Structure 1
Amino acid sequence: MKCLVIVLVCAVLAEGIHRIPLVKHKSIRERMMEKGERLPYQDPALKYFPSEFAGSATMYINNYADTTYYGAITIGTPPQSFQVLFDTGSANLWVDSVLCNTQACSEQPHKVQPQQSSTYSANGQTFYLPYGAGSLSGVFGYDTVNVGGIVINNQEIGLSTNEPGQNFVVAQFDGILGLSYPSISAGQETPVMDNMMSQNLLQANIFAFYLTSDGQQGSELSFGGVDNTKYQGQIYWTPVTSQTYWQIGIQGFQINGQETGWCGQGCQAIVDTGTSMLTAPTQIMGTLMQSIGAQQDQYGQYTVNCNQINSLPTLTFTINGQVSYHVSVVHLCLSACVCIALNMRVLLSIQNNQVCSVGITPTYLPSQNGQPLWILGDVFLMQYYSVYDRTGNQVGFATAA
Structure 2
Amino acid sequence: MRWIVLALLCCAWNAHGVIRIPLRRMLSVRTQLRATHRLEDFMRDHQPDVFNRRYAQCYPPGTPSLRLDKSSERLYNFMDAQYYGVISLGTPEQNFTVVFDTGSADLWVPSSYCVSEACGMHHKFKAFESSTFNHDGRMFGIHYGKGHMLGIMGRDVLKIGPVTVLNQEFGESVYEPGFVFVMAKFDGVLGLGYPSLAEELGNPVFDSIMNQKAVDQPIFSFYLSKSKRSGDPEGELLLGGMDEALYSGPINWNPVTLKSYWQIQMASLQVQGASSFCPHGCQAIIDTGTSLIIGPTHDILALQQLIGATPTSIGEYLIDCARLSSLPQVTIVLNGVEYVLTAESYVRRELMGDREICFSGFQADDLPSSVDPLWILGDVFLSEFYSIYDRGQDRVGFAKARHTRYTEMDGGMDR
Question: Based on CA coordinates, which of the two structures has the bigger radius of gyration?
Answer: 1
Q: Name the CA shift for 1:135/1:315 in 2 (closer, same or farther; >3 Å).
A: farther
Alignment-derived partner of residue 218 in structure 2 = 205
Query: Which amino acid is 1:394 matched to?
Result: R
List aligned pairs for 1:1-400, cutoff 5 A: 43-44=11-12, 53=15, 55-65=17-27, 68-108=82-122, 110-130=123-143, 136-215=149-228, 218=233, 219-260=235-276, 262-320=277-335, 322-330=336-344, 342-343=345-346, 346-349=347-350, 356-369=358-371, 371-400=372-401
Q: What are structure 2's unaligned runs of at least 5 residues?
A: 2-7, 29-80, 403-415
Structure-2 separation of matches of 1:292 and 1:327:
12
Higher RCO (CA-CA < 8 Å; seq separation 6+)? 2
Structure-2 separation of matches of 1:161 and 1:254:
45
Structure-2 separation of matches of 1:249 and 1:274:
19
Aligned-pair identity (%) = 41
Structure-2 separation of matches of 1:307 and 1:77:
54
Q: Name the CA shift for 1:44/1:283 in 2 (closer, same or farther; >3 Å).
A: closer
Structure-2 separation of matches of 1:315 and 1:367:
24
* Equivalent pair of 2:11/2:22 in contact (CA under 8 Å): no
By how many angstroms is 1:197 displaced? 1.5
By how many angstroms is 1:399 displaced? 0.4
Note the alpha carbon deviations across 1:225-264, whole angstroms, 9 max, x for none: 111110001211000111110111111211112251x222
Structure-1 separation of matches of 2:12 and 2:288:
27
Structure-1 separation of matches of 2:132 and 2:110:
18
* Equivalent pair of 2:27/2:82 in contact (CA under 8 Å): yes
Q: Name the CA shift for 1:235/1:221 in 2 (closer, same or farther; >3 Å).
A: same
Query: Which amino acid is 1:280 matched to?
Result: G
Note the alpha carbon deviations across 1:310-345, whole angstroms, 9 max, x for none: 22211101101x111111122xxxxxxxxxxx32xx
Structure-2 separation of matches of 1:278 and 1:45:
33
Structure-2 separation of matches of 1:246 and 1:263:
19
By how many angstroms is 1:155 displaced? 0.4
Query: Which amino acid is 1:73 matched to?
Result: I
Q: Name the CA shift for 1:204/1:355 in 2 (closer, same or farther; >3 Å).
A: closer
Q: Name the CA shift for 1:356/1:232 in 2 (closer, same or farther; >3 Å).
A: closer
Q: TM-score, normalised by structure 1?
A: 0.79
* Equivalent pair of 1:272/1:376 in contact (CA under 8 Å): yes
* Equivalent pair of 1:41/1:60 in contact (CA under 8 Å): no
Shifted more, 228-237 versus 183-192: the winner is 183-192
* Equivalent pair of 2:350/2:356 in contact (CA under 8 Å): no
By how many angstroms is 1:301 displaced? 3.3
Query: Which amino acid is 2:310 matched to?
Result: Q
Structure-2 separation of matches of 1:398 and 1:158:
34
By how many angstroms is 1:293 displaced? 1.5
Q: Name the CA shift for 1:300/1:386 in 2 (closer, same or farther; >3 Å).
A: closer
Structure-1 separation of matches of 2:113 and 2:280:
49
Structure-1 separation of matches of 2:362 and 2:147:
19
Query: Which amino acid is 2:366 matched to?
Result: Y
* Equivalent pair of 2:170/2:200 in contact (CA under 8 Å): no
Q: Name the CA shift for 1:263/1:84 in 2 (closer, same or farther; >3 Å).
A: same
More helix by share: 2
Note the alpha carbon deviations across 1:14-70, whole angstroms, 9 max, x for none: xxxxxxxxxxxxxxxxxxxxxxxxxx9985466xxxxxx253211211111485111
Q: What are structure 1's unaligned runs of at least 5 residues?
A: 2-39, 47-52, 331-341
Query: Which amino acid is 1:172 matched to?
Result: K
By how many angstroms is 1:149 displaced? 1.1
